[in-house]
Amino acid sequence: MRHIDPALIPHAEAHRYLLGGVAPRPIALVGTLDAEGRPNLSPFSFFNAFGVNPPVIAFSPAFRGIDGTPKHTFLNIRDTGEFTVSVVSYAMVEQISLASGDYSAGVDEFIKAGFTRLPSHKVAPPGVAESPMVMECRLLHHIDFGGKPGSANLMIGEVVMFHIKESAFDGKYLDAERLDLVGRMGGPLYCRASGPAVFTLAKPTHAGIGFDALPERVLRSSVLAGNDLAKLAGSERLPDPDAIRAAWRDRMTREGMEAADDLDIELRTGNAGRALDILAARMRAGVSPGELEVDLHRTAQVFLRADAIDDAWLAVLAYDAVPAVMAGTAGG
């Protein structure tokens, strides 16, 4: 790991680390008017939302890194106290790139980038009609971080009106696929927040047992990654040992386990249950669970990635359960 003190490097280098590592970032396409009423439009990716009562967003039109001069967007908001933020969909990316050009004061980027003005209801600056969502904002606070080249101007605004296209909704709420938003990465890179890039992660309904409660052999697994372990650690309680032993007893005495004979194929095709049957057959033949640790954890990983948490526990707790099952069988 590299250890870098930002006080000891050029600010342009620190800028690259921030843009590359703090990503993806939403893009605010900010509309303003200057003191003479001339429109300005420019995208900013130092942007996010920070509260709902009242609705608050913030972005930073930082001072230019080369010469420390202020951007027109900053000057306009400082003078008028109003702005709009239009979110950016994939269909707009080439146009917002065009709008980011360093045009002279008074040049209308709405025209340059081919955007249509959307009249606002409560503020003077227009939004972008092509955007799926536009927010009208009034400046709450401006925080100046030094006025030096590259330093931030944090513009904190209250959203006083939303304009959202009907096509962005799936019923009552906004839909990621319909919005098809883009985010900013480092350098020339962007990302698209739709399709396979979007996934679902359920919010916990209870306090999990945590990593500190996981068995040591599970924690030091050479197979299970942090995301895998987190699913186990999210369990409400450790499984009942008697239930685990009973499940293994049932599996190891089941007829037809030998029907599956290629562990790699079963795991590659997502058939973790058949993989567990193969491992049970091997252990019934005398192979110890410790010798099968990697394969048990590979099987658990397939279960975990299918959100079959109970079955994953069955695989990772075989070390204690199977010897007890085999001892009981031998004793009988």
Neighbours of 192 (CB within 10 A): 16
Average pLDDT over residues 290-317: 96
Phi, psi (degrees; rounded to nearest 5) at 85: -125, 120
Domains along the chain with CATH numbers: 6-196 (2.30.110.10), 211-331 (no CATH)
CA distance 192 to 213: 38
Phi, psi (degrees; rounded to nearest 5) at 57: -125, 165
Average pLDDT over residues 61-71: 90
Average pLDDT, the chain: 93
Say if residue 239 is preceded by a cis peptide, omega within 30 of 0: no
CA distance 82 to 256: 73
By C-alpha distance, which of 245, 62, 35, 59 is closest to 139?
59
Q: Is the dihedral of CA 142, 147, 153, 154 positive or negative?
A: negative
Question: At a CB cut-off of 8 Å and minimum separation 6, what does 65 contact?
Answer: 11, 12, 15, 149, 150
What is the helix (H) or strand (E) element at residue 282, kind and residue range? helix 272-284
Supply the pLDDT for residue 258.
Answer: 57
Average pLDDT over residues 210-224: 96
Question: If pLDDT is split at 50, 70 and 90, which confidence band does 6 have?
Answer: very high
Say yes or no to pLDDT of 208 above 50. Answer: yes
Question: Is residue 179 a contact partner of residue 132, using CB atoms and an 8 Å limit?
Answer: yes
pLDDT in tens, 310-330: 999 999 999 888 887 777 655
Say if residue 54 is preceded by a cis peptide, omega within 30 of 0: yes
- pLDDT above 90 covers a percentage of the chain that reads 83
Question: Is residue 246 a contact partner of residue 268, using CB atoms and an 8 Å limit?
Answer: no
By C-alpha distance, which of 63, 74, 71, 59 is closest to 104?
71
Average pLDDT over residues 51-70: 94
CA distance 191 to 181: 9
Question: At a CB cut-off of 8 Å and minimum separation 6, what does 284 contact?
Answer: 252, 257, 326
Identify residue 102 by its one-letter amino acid code: D
What is the secondary structure of 80-119 as a DSSP string?
A: H-EEEEEE-BGGGHHHHHHHTS-PPTT--HHHHTTPPEE-
DSSP class of 220: T
Identify residue 137 by its one-letter amino acid code: C
Neighbours of 144 (CB within 10 A): 12
pLDDT in tens, 127-150: 999 999 999 999 999 999 988 899
Supply the pLDDT for residue 332.
Answer: 46
For residues 332 and 3, the model is more confident at: 3
Provide the token pair at 280: 């049970």
